[in-house]
């Protein structure tokens, strides 16, 4: 089974057929699924081990499907716990940094800038000087620079600088933001989305980070302030924080990585699918893309038919498995 996939293709097929049959013997499943008997036995054993199948032995083994949310929920919880462990590691590294910084002159590692204008200019300068990679945590309601104003990104991308950006879901729902994100992706930006992000953050060439110092609920008090963080353990912690969230985030794609994509999805469908999996509501998708909610549903229906499923959950699962997003 591929890393991160709860069920492989054979297991999913067998489980779906077993749901349709309600109960079945291994031989009956092998016949319906057109599987060799040995393979049917093996896939039922794997489903049983994952808690998706119960077996009764009254008159030979008979298999019955169990609810997937109960069985697979435990696996998802473990992954959440793994992410929480990574966050605790970041917190521990930050504490270690603070303890070390108290024993030396901290201004060599952290510079504080005040004011939206100063922050905006520093972000522009850092992007213009970037040579390898820029990482972004893009939260809703930007402090100093709206996405459409960040024209330096296109210059950096044209120089071969790699951009990786994680967008908070609420940002995707703000008017005009999807157009800006789509433009960046068309230039080569790698975009992903999460429901929420812990901080606002930009990291340039893994050597300099920009992180606001004021909480969102205190933004109305005075000018915004931000820390410019150089190489050290705090920067390492921020890099670890970004990478842990990047692994969990949902890709936002406009096109297939495979130029000879046999699936038949066009760019607008692939983008719509990315937004659906990211959790953006139909109403917001329709508004942002300038189409009706009925058109959104019609395109989703076509993709569900193409994937051979009849639910959005199934479509999201197939999209991830087939590499559509």
**What DSSP string runs through 51-89?**
TSEEEE-BTB-EEEE--HHHHHHHHHHHHHHHHHHHHHH
**Distance between start and end Cα atoms, the chain:** 19
Q: How does pLDDT run across 231-273, given as a tens digit for each residue? A: 888 899 999 999 999 998 888 876 555 554 545 677 777 888 8
- Average pLDDT over the chain, rounded to an integer: 80
- Long-range Cβ pairs for the range 303-310 (8 Å, 24+): 303/265, 303/269, 303/273, 306/263, 306/264, 306/265
Radius of gyration of the CA atoms of the chain, in A: 24
Q: Give the chain's length.
A: 325
- State how far the Cα of 205 lies from the Cα of 201, in Å rounded to an integer: 13
Helix (H, G, I), strand (E, B) or coil at 199: coil
pLDDT for the residue 102: 54
Burial code of 28-57, b = ≥16 C-beta within 10 A, e = fewer? Answer: bbbeebebeeeebbbbbebbeebbbbeeee
Closest CA to 80 of 243, 232, 244: 244
Does the pTM surpass 0.95? The reply is no
- What are the structure tokens assigned to 129, written together? 């000087």
Q: Which is it for strands 162-168 and 133-138: parallel, antiparallel or unpaired?
A: parallel
pLDDT for the residue 7: 77
Once rounded to an integer, what is the mean pLDDT over residues 295-310? 85
Rounded to the nearest 5 degrees, what angle is found at the Cα of 77, between the Cα atoms of 76 and 81?
120
Q: Is the pLDDT of residue 279 over 60?
A: yes
Domains of the chain: 9-66 (1.10.10.10), 78-251 (3.30.870.10), 267-322 (1.10.10.10)
Q: How does pLDDT run across 212-233, given as a tens digit for each residue? A: 887 665 555 567 788 899 888 8
Q: Provide the percentage of residues in the chain whose pLDDT is more than 90.
A: 11
Q: Is the pLDDT of residue 144 over 60?
A: yes
pLDDT for the residue 242: 95
Which strand ranges, in their side-by-side order, compose the sheet holding 133-138? 110-114, 225-229, 208-212, 201-204, 133-138, 162-168, 190-194, 250-252
205 versus 65: the higher-pLDDT residue is 205
pLDDT for the residue 217: 56
Q: Give me the helix-helix angle, 267-277 and 312-322, nearest 10°.
A: 120
């Amino acid at each position: 089974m591929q890393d991160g996939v709860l069920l492989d293709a054979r297991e999913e097929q067998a489980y779906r057929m077993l749901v349709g049959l309600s109960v079945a013997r291994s031989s009956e499943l092998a016949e319906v699924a057109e599987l060799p008997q040995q393979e049917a036995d093996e896939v039922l054993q794997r489903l049983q081990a994952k808690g998706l199948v119960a077996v009764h032995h009254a008159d030979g083994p008979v298999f019955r499907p169990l609810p997937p949310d109960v069985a697979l929920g435990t696996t998802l919880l473990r992954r959440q716990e793994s992410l929480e462990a990574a966050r605790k590691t970041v917190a521990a590294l930050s504490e270690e940094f603070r303890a070390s910084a108290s024993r030396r002159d901290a201004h060599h590692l952290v510079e504080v800038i005040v004011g939206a204008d100063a922050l905006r200019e520093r972000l522009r300068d850092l992007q213009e000087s970037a040579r390898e990679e820029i990482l972004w945590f893009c939260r809703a309601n930007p402090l100093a620079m709206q996405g459409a104003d960040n024209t330096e990104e296109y210059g950096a991308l044209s120089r071969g600088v790699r951009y990786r950006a994680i967008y908070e879901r609420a940002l995707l729902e703000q008017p005009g933001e999807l157009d800006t994100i789509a433009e960046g992706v068309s230039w080569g930006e790698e975009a992903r989305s999460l429901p929420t992000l812990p901080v606002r953050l930009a990291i340039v060439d893994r050597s300099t980070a920009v992180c606001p110092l004021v909480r969102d609920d205190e933004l109305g008090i005075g000018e915004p302030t931000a820390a410019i963080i150089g190489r050290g353990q705090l920067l390492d912690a921020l890099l670890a924080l970004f990478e842990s969230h990047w692994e969990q985030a949902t890709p936002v794609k406009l096109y297939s990585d495979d130029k000879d994509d046999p699936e038949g999805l066009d760019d607008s469908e692939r983008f719509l699918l990315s937004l659906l999996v990211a959790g953006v509501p139909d109403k917001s998708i329709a508004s942002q893309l300038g189409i009706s909610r009925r058109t959104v549903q019609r395109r989703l229906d076509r993709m569900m038919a193409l994937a051979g499923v009849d639910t959005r959950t199934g479509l999201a699962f197939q999209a991830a498995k087939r590499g559509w997003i």
